[in-house]
Amino acid sequence: MAEIERVLVVGGGIGGLSTAIALRNAGVTVDVVEKNPKWDVYGVGIIQPPNALRALNAIGLAERCLAAGHPIKGGRNLLADGTLLGEDDYPPVVPGWPPMNGLTRPALHEILTSTTLASGAQVRVGETVTEIVQRPDGVDVTFTDGTTGSYDLLVGADGLYSDVRRMLFGEDLRPRYTGQVCFRYNLPRMPGLDRIEVWIGQRNGTAGFVPLSDELMYMLFILAWPEAEIRQDPDRLDAVMRERLAPFGGHVAEYRDQIVDASQVVYRPVENILVPDPWYRGRALLIGDAAHGTSPHAGQGAAQAIEDGVVLAEEIASGKSADDVLQAFMARRFERCKQVVELSGAIGAWEQNPDPNVNPAEIRNQLMAVCAVPV
């Protein structure tokens, strides 16, 4: 009999739901708790690079994501004035598929939530864990409503500001501000946009466009920002975004003036974290942003979280002991995620202090090469 047959997943986002689906596909009994009572998402769109599509294919969801999104052939890099630096074509994971996909966060959330519910996983919203008590063969937990439960494994997939991480590792492991903030805004898709356009403004920041559907794209804008000024008036976010984009020409200038609704601007500080190996204590394991939150420079945050779920389910299905499952999981995940966090961070560091001897495109290519290797 397998030692891990009943799992609690804390967090109903991309990583938690992908893990729940992967575990249910492997025959594991799964409970999910999500503290947001609305169980909705905040954000504009998401990039699914080749390794994300590979991982989604492993849990049976890649084709649904492709049908709901927009194909992305590769990348296009330009200077702030519109000077073209070059284009890249990425190879597809599966012949006939696009190499990458863009789709809205609500569309992905609907795919993940509906599949999780259909899988037989039990989901409770408006609930999370307040206490974790380790046993030699599992964990006992207390939920916010005062009820309790016993599981063979707890998976903490509760994001960058994870409460599970705090309960397992203490207060000292916290996300680190990288010196940048990121703005995102949905716009009508520009005709013919089939690549991720990146407009490099050196010290004025980096802007970009990502297709999400035949009608929709989002503009991203990432730039250096004093930590003391992170807090902004939410009613002025559209104006601030337009003002900071003023040095850009070309498509950025063309679409900049369509940023007119402050409530639709998604604005966040760029933070990252890498929990030291191992990401578990006893029978409680961190995955996704809770363990290895990365900056958005390569679109790998969600991809790595989905991979976590696929790998964990594979190791549990192998019939290993619980200790061997957790050790094998870390052997397959730590170095890969460490490189993603560090290389993404290196791109952000270059954007803040451009070094003429360093080509950020080469850093991005190195990161993509890491992720191209099947996990």
* Mean pLDDT, rounded, for 86-91: 87
- 99-133 residue pLDDT tens: 999 999 999 999 999 999 999 999 999 999 999 99
Give the whole-number percent of the chain exceeding pLDDT 70.
100
> Taking the domains of the chain in order of start, what are their residue ranges?
6-70+99-174+273-372, 177-271
The full 3-state SS of the chain, as one line of letters, equals: CCCCCEEEEECCCHHHHHHHHHHHHCCCEEEEEECCCCCCCCCCEEEECHHHHHHHHHCCCHHHHHHHCEEECEEEEEECCCCEEEEEECCCCCCCCCCEEEEEHHHHHHHHHHHHHHHCCEEEECCCEEEEEEECCEEEEEECCCCEEEECEEEECCCCCCHHHHHHHCCCCCCEEEEEEEEEEEEECCCCCCCEEEEECHHHCEEEEEECCCCEEEEEEEEECCHHHCCCCHHHHHHHHHHHCCCCCHHHHHHHCCCCCHHHCEEEEEEECCCCCCCEECCEEECCHHHHCCCHHHCCHHHHHHHHHHHHHHHHHCCCCHHHHHHHHHHHHHHHHHHHHHHHHHHHHHHHCCCCCCCHHHHHHHHHHHHHCCC
The answer on pLDDT for 20 being more than 90 is: yes
Note the pLDDT of residue 349. 95
Residue with the bigger pLDDT between 360 and 9: it is 9
Instruction: Residue 80: name the closest of 223, 268, 212 by CA.
Output: 223
- 199-224 residue pLDDT tens: 999 889 999 999 999 999 999 999 99
Note the pLDDT of residue 93. 86
Give the whole-number percent of the chain exceeding pLDDT 90.
91
Name the average pLDDT for the chain. 96
* Mean pLDDT, rounded, for 326-355: 96
For the entire predicted model, the pTM comes to 0.97
Confidence grade of residue 88 (pLDDT, cut at 50, 70, 90): confident
Phi, psi of 9, rounded to the nearest 5 degrees? -105, 120
Note the pLDDT of residue 1. 55
Note the pLDDT of residue 45. 95
The topology under which CATH files domain 6-70+99-174+273-372 is FAD/NAD(P)-binding domain (3.50.50)
Tokens 């439960």 correspond to 149
Distances (CA, A) of 340 to 51, 227, 302, 328, 347: 12, 24, 12, 19, 11
- 34-83 residue pLDDT tens: 999 999 998 899 999 999 999 999 999 999 999 999 999 999 999 999 99
Domain 177-271 sits in CATH at: 3.30.9.30
